Amino acid sequence: MESKREKFSSGLTVFLATLSSAVGLGNIWMFPYVTGKNGGAAFIIIYLICVVLVGMPVLISEFIIGRGTRKNVYGAISTITNKKKFKSIGVIAILATYSLLFFYTVVVGWVYSYVFKALVGSFKGVTLEQASNIFNTTSAGAISSIIWQFIAVAVGGAILVLGVKGGIEKLTKTLMPVLVILLVVCAFTSLTLPGSMEGVKFLIKPDFSKVHIGVVLSALGLAFFKLSVGTGTMITYGSYYTDDNNLIATASKVAISDTIVSLLAGLAIFPAVFSFGMEPSSGPGLLFNTVPLIFSKMPGGWILSIIFFLLTSMAATMAMISLLEVLIVFFNEELKIERKKAVIINIIIITIIGSLAALSGNPNGVLGNKLIFGKTFFDLFDLLVSKVFLPVNGFLIILLVGYFANKKFVNDQLTNNGTLNNEKIANALIFIMKYIAPVLIVVVFLKSFI
């Protein structure tokens, strides 16, 4: 067991590590297709409002719990309160993290395989039917799906064996800037295509006539899930923060930067989508079907496809290791298992149980027709996380910090023991935590079942 708990070395590292956790497949995969499905710019404006009212309050609440206790998610909650209903936060966070990793690592494995396919030129001259066949072959193959999933988990484990500074910090300080640069390259190339301005208008010119209650609820749900809250990730990363870090400022910078990365992904995809006359609301297929087809039609498409899927794999890996770290530090501090053994144990658990998701991620997979409560294993893990664990945990976390945690403890964390001149902002944030965010989270939860 580690004798001394590590911390991030600087404010910049805190920002990059936290941003790397928030930035994941959601930015490059989910955000573009959800935006496309819900009308573009008008959706983005509503989404940003929801980030302020829901995403950031929960994010900052997790920072408060993490840095204020310097413990893993389970130990942190036990330190703050003795109330059993809140102690369940730690249990739910561990369950949510496992459930999320069971299917998320499958998708990360698909992305890794697409990096390999791009390198060998599999997307050169493909038609939409061929692109669809490539994805079906990738996701339905029994052996290939499990192998790529194991590679993804093993890569994450290898990084985490090196620790907080040697693994997480070094990776994020290197990859986050590279990821942004590669996104800019893809976006610039996409913008040079004929007719690309229609894609830009789609992203920046709002059409509020397309806004209805379903769009608002989608924005609310995305804002809550997009910032990587509810699984204990931000509690864990918050526990590595320096004492002088401004939690509110960090959350603001992360939320803004995360949105910028998402918009860059949109600029990399939508101008090309419009240029080639494709459908912006084509759903999840934007990443695995539409994007390869786009690159097959673009000058220099082979190189760009490699760059795009490489940056997608970077984003996916950084988000994955933040989830894995929740489990590793829990095993280390609560179960007294040293880091290397904790990594190996979790690689085995995720690979074995996650293989159920790997074999059911495609309807044509080995377990694609095996249903539990009308869902495949892949969809069941997804449902448990997105519709049960995350909203319930987010609600409990915001209630704990807003109503039941020691007020001085909360205020000291927000103001850095009074050294920051931000009391008005802190009071406004606490008001949102107590009276606005809980209501909206309940709306997200109810929306999931209606």
pLDDT (tens digit per residue) in 346-361? 999 999 999 999 999 8
- The pLDDT > 70 percentage for the chain reads 96
pLDDT of residue 329: 95
- Rounded Cα distance between 105 and 110, Å, is 9
Residue that wins the pLDDT comparison between 304 and 287: 304
pLDDT of residue 297: 78
Looking at residues 429-440, what average pLDDT do you find?
Answer: 94
Residue 1 has pLDDT above 50, yes or no: no
Residue 246 has pLDDT above 80, yes or no: yes
- Of 224, 227, 238, which Cα lies nearest the Cα of 62? 238
pLDDT of residue 2: 42
Residue 133 has pLDDT above 50, yes or no: yes
At the topology level, CATH places domain 11-448 in Hydantoin permease (1.10.4160)
DSSP string, 168-185: IIHHHHHHHHHHHHHHHH
Half-sphere exposure of 409 (CA within 13 A, CB side): 18
Q: Return all residues near 241 (Cβ < 8 A) that are at least 6 apart.
A: 7, 8, 14, 63, 66, 67, 247, 250
Token pair of 182 as six digits: 């590669």
Residue 76 has pLDDT above 50, yes or no: yes
Q: Band of the pLDDT at 284, cuts 50, 70, 90? A: low
Do residues 321 and 304 lie in contact, with contact meaning Cβ atoms separated by under 8 Å? no
pLDDT of residue 314: 87
Q: What are phi and psi of 360, to 5 degrees?
A: -125, 10
Q: Band of the pLDDT at 3, cuts 50, 70, 90? A: very low
Q: Which amino acid is at 231?
A: T
Residue that wins the pLDDT comparison between 165 and 71: 71
- The pLDDT > 90 percentage for the chain reads 43
Least confident of 91-95, 361-365, 433-437: 361-365
Do residues 20 and 176 lie in contact, with contact meaning Cβ atoms separated by under 8 Å? yes
Length of the chain: 450
pLDDT of residue 264: 87
Exposed, middle or buried by CB within 10 Å (0-12, 13-18, 19+), for 1?
A: exposed
Looking at residues 166-180, what average pLDDT do you find?
Answer: 85
DSSP string, 109-151: HHHHHHHHHHHTTTTTT--HHHHHHHHHHHHH-HHHHHHHHHH
DSSP string, 220-274: HHHHHHHTT-SSSHHHHHHTT--TT--HHHHHHHHHHHHHHHHHHHHHHHHHHHH
Task: Give the residue extent of every domain in the chain.
Answer: 11-448
What are the tens digits of pLDDT across the range 11-59? 888 888 888 887 777 777 678 777 877 878 888 899 899 899 998 999 9
Residue that wins the pLDDT comparison between 363 and 377: 377
Looking at residues 199-219, what average pLDDT do you find?
Answer: 81
Residue that wins the pLDDT comparison between 438 and 222: 438
CB-based burial, 201-211: b 16+ in 10 Å, e otherwise: ebbeebeeeeb
- Rounded Cα distance between 25 and 226, Å, is 10
What are the tens digits of pLDDT across the range 290-317? 788 878 877 888 888 898 888 889 888 9
Residue that wins the pLDDT comparison between 337 and 162: 337
Residue 283 has pLDDT above 60, yes or no: no
Average pLDDT, the chain: 87
Looking at residues 263-282, what average pLDDT do you find?
Answer: 77
